[in-house]
Amino acid sequence: MMQPPDHPTTSASGLPEQVILVGASVRSAAESAVLAGFDVMGVDLFGDLDTRSCCRTFCPVDHWCEMTADRAAQWIQRFRHVSRSPLAAADGQTRPTGLVVVGDLQRMSDVLARMPDCVQVVNDPFPYHTSPLPAELDRAKVASPLGRDLLGKSVDLCSRDQGGSVRAPESHLDTADFDSVRSGGRWLVKEYRSAGGLGVRWLTDDDLAGDDLAGTNHRGRQQNRSMYFQRWIPGRCYGATYLSNGSQVSLLGVCQTVFTRNGDRPFVYAGSYGPVAVSPTQQASLLNLGERVVANTGMRGLLNIDFVLDRDGVMWVLEINPRWSASSELIERQLAGDRGESEERGESEERGESEDRGSLFRVMHTALRGASTDNQPLATGSYQRAAPYYKRIVYSRAKGRFDRLRLDREVAGVPLKWELKDIPSAETEIQPGEPIATIIIDIHGSSRFVWQNAKRLFAAVQKAVV
């Protein structure tokens, strides 16, 4: 299993070798950071076994947000001194500890507010929406200060360049203009500060008729400014991953997004499939969009643009996450030497042990400093691969605890090359509808009956909650 490095990465540049990772789940970014030689402190919602195993220090989000400022400062100082990274820069000044946001959180503002002065946030912590933002809303709590203005401008300019093949869905802050909503099509209610599709649901007739929508009065005027309304675009949803140093932009790959329904939430994130092949025309459109966005915003590091591709080939841009995303680990695996051919894993090999591959976190770290990534591995995308990975989050159907030994018995003989990630401890109480663990299947290295065996694998994970 991954372990904190004996000899952390050293650098004479502005960003430190220590890093604090914050997000709903920091596991994949932490694994990549450790692979690059960083000392990691993780702050996330789950604290899974494999997350904790590669972090020098770990703190659950809820525990962190309950701390006083003094207590949080003591926690950071302990990490800074336990870590074997140097605390002094070349000029003798105290070196800051970098904080990289690698996933969205409803409580992100609370987490960042408790960070002491010795912590430097090195990337943008909030997503950019293509929807409008209400003027009275504190933008720092719902989106980047640059907000919709520059993102909307980027999409509009790209749409002109591509003859209308890149657009943004129609969105409204409130339903006072309900003639547009009633004119046809289906509509979504979206929360600004939500993650993984948990803040998205259908707008219903009951919402239009009365007071059923929280924060909306009988005339349809929205009072709750934490949400907006967006026309649903039928099609397949994808995430395009870019690398930017603020001027240069590379398209690293595109992954298809997989959803599942959870109660009245129809678009809960369940995984990613890819990288998938894209046509030269789509590649050109995506590169143009990325260049426009970076030119208007100056974004650095990894960027993920979520979009829907409709049956006419139009790309509908939903939002941009200026950070490590859920599909980044698939991009990393694909681009690490283009992976090449590998032998089937023997039965005695321990699942979950990381492969010897390049670190995408290292490349992102270089780009965040504004440095060129021309000589960095993993900095160039491959757009025509036909042997992607399948990452699937398995959600529980029952209440219980995860029994790893039972899973091992259930999956014995399954002819797939796969890894178990985000592994809960034996003491974790799992509720129905909550994530159990993540499965990553190497489609390239598995049998031709991959989908039948994948279903068997997912069912085995669910049966292991007892």
Q: What is the mean pLDDT of residues 311-330?
A: 92
Do 1-122 and 140-169+236-386 fold alike per CATH?
no
The 10s digit of each residue's pLDDT in 235-269 is: 999 999 999 998 889 999 999 999 999 888 999 99
The pLDDT assigned to 381 comes to 60
Maximum CA extent, the chain: 66
The pLDDT assigned to 72 comes to 94
In whole angstroms, give the CA distance from residue 91 to residue 93. 6
Report CA torsion sign: 394, 396, 402, 404.
Answer: negative
Q: Which residue has the higher pLDDT, 127 or 61?
A: 61
What CATH architecture applies to the domain 389-463?
Alpha-Beta Complex (3.90)
What residue ranges do the domains of the chain occupy?
A: 1-122, 140-169+236-386, 170-232, 389-463
Q: What is the mean pLDDT of residues 284-304?
A: 89
The pLDDT assigned to 2 comes to 42
* DSSP-derived pairing of the beta strands 265-274 and 249-262: antiparallel
Residues ≥6 apart with Cβ < 8 Å to 336: 355, 357, 358, 377, 378
Q: What is the pTM of this model?
A: 0.85
pLDDT at 122 over 60: yes
pLDDT at 399 over 50: yes
CB atoms within 10 A of CB 232: 17
pLDDT at 123 over 90: no
Class of domain 140-169+236-386: alpha beta
Q: What is the mean pLDDT of residues 334-339?
A: 65
Q: Which residue has the higher pLDDT, 365 or 148?
A: 365
Name the range with the highest mean pLDDT among 192-206, 229-243, 338-352, 363-377: 229-243
Q: What is the distance of C-alpha 244 from the center of its chain?
A: 17
What CATH architecture applies to the domain 1-122?
3-Layer(aba) Sandwich (3.40)
